[in-house]
Amino acid sequence: MEYPYLLFVIALFIAVVFLLEGLYMSWNASRGPVAKRIAQRLKLMSDQGKSGENPHLLKQRVLSKLPALQRLLSHIPRIDTFDRWLEQSGLEMSMARLCAAALACFAGLFALLWLLKVPVAVAAACGLVAGAIPFAVVISAQRKRMRAIEEQLPDALDLISRALRAGHSFSSAIQMVGQELADPLASEFRIVFDEVNYGIPMQDALKHLSARVPGTDVGFFVVAVLIQRETGGNLAELLGKIATLVRERLRLFGQIRVYSAEARLSAWILGLLPIVLVLVLNIVNPRFMRILWTDPTGEKILAVISVMMIVGAIWMRKLIRIKV
């Protein structure tokens, strides 16, 4: 197969995908479920919306907007964990779209390598790596967002403490955090304030916050507030001490990241060097490397090397990850 024809097929496939995506987004913006929900809420707020419906106090999160796909995804093991990571990442997408993106990456790279006469096993392995890229992006966004929330938390605790000393209630202090600070922490506190306004008890709203932001520092804040509401005490002083503790913890964590920077760089080099060498040697001398996936002994060697590399990567990650 000639390369111009192959490039034309790939370009045509990408154009069709973009066309379908544009048509879907156009339909979804005008007549999709989100537009219908907005119209229903506006109707409920108007004078003609007195239909006696009782909307849920809490937003119901679904894996897909299609019932059949929702039932299919609900049977996948640990799908709730990935959906929780997706929610914590702050990305505006559903689990169904994430799975579709992973499947598209796998199928696209596998088909491309298969057309280039790459062995099926190697193409499948590369396709699995490509299919894991969307999930890696979600996990990276989730960790980045959680780290940003932890960095903003001391300022939020100081603001709540000053508001309590000034005579404001705890709920109004939560509202101040949602209005004065920046996202992503402000959006989480706005959700807490909205839940309380909708009739959810403060204890449950704070527990929902700790579930959405599963961090040690946020857990300190939630546990301190829950204990103070049951036993009493000076909440403003307690939050001020927690803010100091969180700042010292973040400062210590920053020092540890500086001290372990060389080890992390060495781990990246040791992990990527064999893969880069295999790719370079395959480009320079394909006949020399072809024996690794055409000969049975070479396939066994590749399997052993892959397992050893995975074990080594996990071991190096354990060595350089220091929990504070």
Query: Is 43 or 87 the better-scoring residue by pLDDT?
Result: 87
Break the chain into its structural domains and give their ranges: 149-248, 261-320
Best-predicted range by mean pLDDT (12-26, 86-100, 204-218): 204-218
pLDDT confidence band for 193 (50 / 70 / 90)? confident
Contacts of 98 (CB under 8 A, 6+ apart): 82, 86, 134, 135, 138
Burial of 12 (C-beta count, 10 Å sphere; 0-12/13-18/19+): exposed
Predicted confidence (pLDDT) at residue 6 exceeds the cutoff of 70: no
Question: Is-contact 179 268, C-beta < 8 A?
Answer: no
Nearest to 70 by CA among 57, 82, 61, 59: 61
Second CATH level (architecture) for the domain 149-248: Up-down Bundle (1.20)
pLDDT confidence band for 120 (50 / 70 / 90)? confident
Condensed to tens digits (0 to 9), the pLDDT of residues 48-104 reads: 444 443 444 445 555 656 666 666 666 666 767 777 777 777 777 777 787 888 888
pLDDT confidence band for 9 (50 / 70 / 90)? low
